[in-house]
Structure formats: structure tokens, C-alpha cells
Amino acid sequence: MNQEVFAAVAEALERGEPAALVTIVSTVGSTPQRIGAKMLVFGDGRTVGTIGGGCYENDAFWKAREAIGHRQPQMVRYELSDDFAQETGLICGGQMEVYIEPIEPSPALYVIGAGHVGYQLAHMAQTVGFKVHVIDDREKFASRERFPDAEEVVAQDIPTWLGQASIPAHAYVVVVTRGHTNDLDALRALAPRDFRYLGLIGSRAKVARIYDALRDEGMPADRLTRVHAPIGLDIGAVTPQEIAVSILAELIAVKHGKITSRDATDLSMQWNNLKVKAG
């Protein structure tokens, strides 16, 4: 059974899909499974393997799904002779501890726009473990010569490509195109979908204008509050290299749970309130 779990872990890492591994690390007395039994839990609820079934496995399952989100391991102890176990009739008279460990694959980063900032971000992101995909509608910019180590380089009309692409929900997506219209088209395609991170470059005034346009088209407000915009940590960045550093710092902070979707929502709502001043 563990061989099946190990194979699933390898496949998840290859796909870049987050998961959490639950392992029995100690037992006392009679338990349904021995030390070393494993269960792999995915964010969508799929599981591979078992630690013995029953309500304690169900509890570990939900804790594992939480661990995928907050990226923090934890040790959990179960008393199999108490009321917790009696709910399913598994009165084994023992105790066991399980270790719940988030599996951290190399995250996929989709850079929408291969201009100056996109170029710098793509190269920097690769050095810290992101698997980079670059998309631009200009072959001169989206080329293997400029991005030799990227997982994917696409030179195609951006809205058309986004409408057909299967970008996974655990991906990071950064919109850094060359202009307002391209950013609007990209966000129109991306905002209705769920991603680990979605960020939009631009001034607060530009972000407000894009949000207004999308709301006028009927985009639900809650989809826009998920967007990190203006993108990047406020470090006073000016040059493309500095802006790329600020964006990458934000991506890393999200990856390690230092910035949450609620943080992005709060900031996005604050910036949206500036639309009146922005005119």
C-alpha cells in the first residue's frame, strides 16, 4: 500500500500539485495499522492509502486538507479507546500519533507578459524553484532565446490562449502585460478562476479603472477582491529589476503562508476605494 502512496507522491511532485502526507509514527497497544502506514491527501479530497479507517482517519483527513492551505506540519495524537473511537466501533485500546506533512512541489508560475518586468521576474523566479511558463503575443519577446529554461514559452494572442489553457488551481499567475487593454483582457479571463495567487501590475488608478470596467461587464466583486493588485510588496521599487523583486517577494510570502487571500482582499478593497480620487 505504501508503494502506491510513494508513487502518488512522486506524481504529485511532478505535476506540481500540493498534497499532504499522513504517516503513523508511533503506536501503543492495539491499533488498526502499524507504524509507517501512510495516506496521501489532495486538496480536492482525493486520497491514496489508509491509516486504518474510522473517525480518526476522517479527522486526520481534514487536518491534512487544512495543512495543504497553511503549509504547516503537525503531530496529532489519537486515543483509540475513548469516545472518539467508539463512534465507529474501533475500540482497539491503544494510542497512536500521526505526522501530517504538507508536500511542497515546485510551484508553477504563469507570467502573462514577456516585457521588461516579465523577463526579470521569470529569470529570478526560476532561481528559487518556480516552474515558469511565459505567455506573450509577440514572438520577439516570447522566445526560447530569451527564456531558455522556462517550462513553456507561448507566443499567441493572450485572451485566446487563456481561453483554452488549463492552468491548474494551485498555480501562481502574474499579469504584467504591456498595456491597459492587454491587462484588462487577461484579468477578464483569469479573475473568474481559482488560483493560489493572481496578481495584476499597475498603479492604483489603473487598477481601479480595470476593476470598474470589469464590474460594468458584470464581474462579481468577490472575484476581484482575490486579486493581488497593485502587485508586489511595497519596497519603493522603480526599475524593472526592483519591481520583479517586489513581485517575487510577494509570491514567496504567499507560498509560505505569510500573506493570505484575506490580506489580498483587504488591500484590494482599500485600493478599490481610491477609484473616486483616481477619477
Q: What torsion do the CA atoms of 10, 12, 13, 16 make, to the nearest 10 degrees? A: 160
- Give the DSSP letter string of 140-196: TTS-TTT-TT-SEEEES-HHHHHHH----TT-EEEE--SSHHHHHHHHHHHTTS--S
Largest Cα–Cα distance of the chain, in whole Å?
70
Identify the pLDDT of residue 185: 93
Identify the pLDDT of residue 79: 81
Q: Which residue has the higher pLDDT, 105 or 198?
A: 198
Inform me whether the pLDDT recorded for 180 exceeds 70.
Answer: yes
> What percent of the chain is predicted at pLDDT more than 70?
88
Instruction: Provide the phi-psi class of 10: left if phi over 0, else alpha when psi is between -120 and 50, else beta.
Output: alpha
Inform me whether the pLDDT recorded for 178 exceeds 60.
Answer: yes
Identify the pLDDT of residue 257: 78
Inform me whether the pLDDT recorded for 90 exceeds 70.
Answer: no
Identify the pLDDT of residue 263: 52
- 195-226: pLDDT as tens digits: 989 999 988 999 999 999 999 999 998 899 99
- 12-65: pLDDT as tens digits: 888 878 899 999 999 887 777 789 999 999 988 999 999 887 778 888 999 999
Inform me whether the pLDDT recorded for 228 exceeds 90.
Answer: yes
Helix (H) or strand (E) holding 62: helix 54-70
Tell me how many degrees the CA angle 142-254-268 measures, rounded to the nearest 5: 85
With beta carbons less than 8 A apart as the criterion, state whether 151 and 126 touch. no
| Prediction pTM value | 0.75
Identify the pLDDT of residue 69: 78
Identify the pLDDT of residue 106: 84
Q: Which domains does the chain have, with CATH numbers?
A: 2-103 (no CATH), 108-278 (3.40.50.720)
Quick one: average pLDDT of 140-145? 96
Q: How far apart are CA 213 and CA 112, in angstroms?
A: 20
Report the DSSP beta bridge partners of residue 135.
Answer: 112, 154
Inform me whether the pLDDT recorded for 270 exceeds 50.
Answer: no
Quick one: average pLDDT of 177-186? 90
Model confidence band, residue 273 (pLDDT cutoffs 50, 70, 90): very low
Quick one: average pLDDT of 174-188? 92
Identify the pLDDT of residue 87: 53
